[in-house]
Amino acid sequence: MKLIISSELDKAGENIRENLLETYPFEKLDNNYFYDKDKDSLLVRIKNETIYTDFPENIIQEEIKEYNLTEIDSIYFATRHKSVAKIPTLTCHTPGNFGKADYGGKDGKVSPSNPIFQKLVLNQINNLSKKLDIPFEVSLEATHHGPLTGLPTTFIEIGSDEPYWSIKEAGGVIASAIYNSLSYKDNEYSFKIAAGIGGGHYCPKFTEIILHTDIALGHVIAKYNTPVTDSILSELIRKSGRLDFVILDWKGIKERSDLKDKLLNRGISFVKTGDIVKE
């Protein structure tokens, strides 16, 4: 079962949640959760900030055991995105901290990634957002902030400042993108599965790859979290599931030769972004 989570403290999350309930056939359960049998999806609103709610699947699975629903297998957080630039942006990313956990989660620990969903949902967002009156940028973000979970997890966000969080049409785009991307099977697509290392937080090269190639991307380690230590590389591999290769934003990496040696020693294939898209 797919678990969609928003927070009552999050205006963008409330916006997305309202759009989901208005547009799609979610039925209310006694505990104020909403279930959609067509997508085998549960919509939940929590009281706390999403980034500080570690392992929500354990709590919610226990609370719904009387309904005989299937086991939760993946998590989708519908939330706000905030940045100093305040540029209208629609984003997605995997949660976790390849560095210090300043905003939830734990130092050096990340949640499992969901690269196929990230590819599907970002392409949906890119297509659906073209109808919006306000031009929103569409971007994959590097892995950052909490919470820590034990299941494939994705944040799907409206940004980047309060005036944009409550735009109903933007909430509709994210709601539809999430809903349209939920029902997939891993063997349904022949995407190559990759993780990314290097570049800036908003990953323009990785965004281009996810939108315009047959590659699905999960975790991205931004330049500010390089050089990549052995423990961080192990965490990346462990939380990526199937991993066909790693994509390196070569100019945006510290200590490139050391990273190259680490990947070769582990038998991990890698390519440079310039081998896939124009620099």
pLDDT, tens digit, 9 for 90 and up, residues 142-152:
999 999 999 99
Asked if the domains at 2-186 and 188-275 fall in one CATH topology, the answer is no
- Helix (H) or strand (E) segment spanning residue 196: strand 192-197
Contact 227, 254 (CB under 8 A): yes
Position 84 scores a pLDDT of 83
Q: Is the pLDDT of residue 183 over 90?
A: no
Q: What is the predicted pLDDT for the residue at 254?
A: 83
pLDDT tens profile 192-239: 999 999 999 999 999 999 999 999 999 999 999 999 999 999 999 999
Spans of all domains in the chain? 2-186, 188-275
Predicted model pTM: 0.96
- 188-275 has which CATH code? 3.40.50.10700
Task: Provide the pLDDT for residue 93.
Answer: 98
Model confidence band, residue 154 (pLDDT cutoffs 50, 70, 90): very high
Q: Which two tokens stand for residue 130?
A: 């073209």
Tell me which residue has tokens 């591999």. 237
Nearest CA to 175 out of 23, 3, 5, 9 is that of 23
What are the helix (H) ranges across 88-156? 115-128
DSSP state of 72: P
Among 235, 263, 24, smallest CA distance to 16 is for: 24
Fold of domain 2-186? Aminopeptidase (3.40.630)
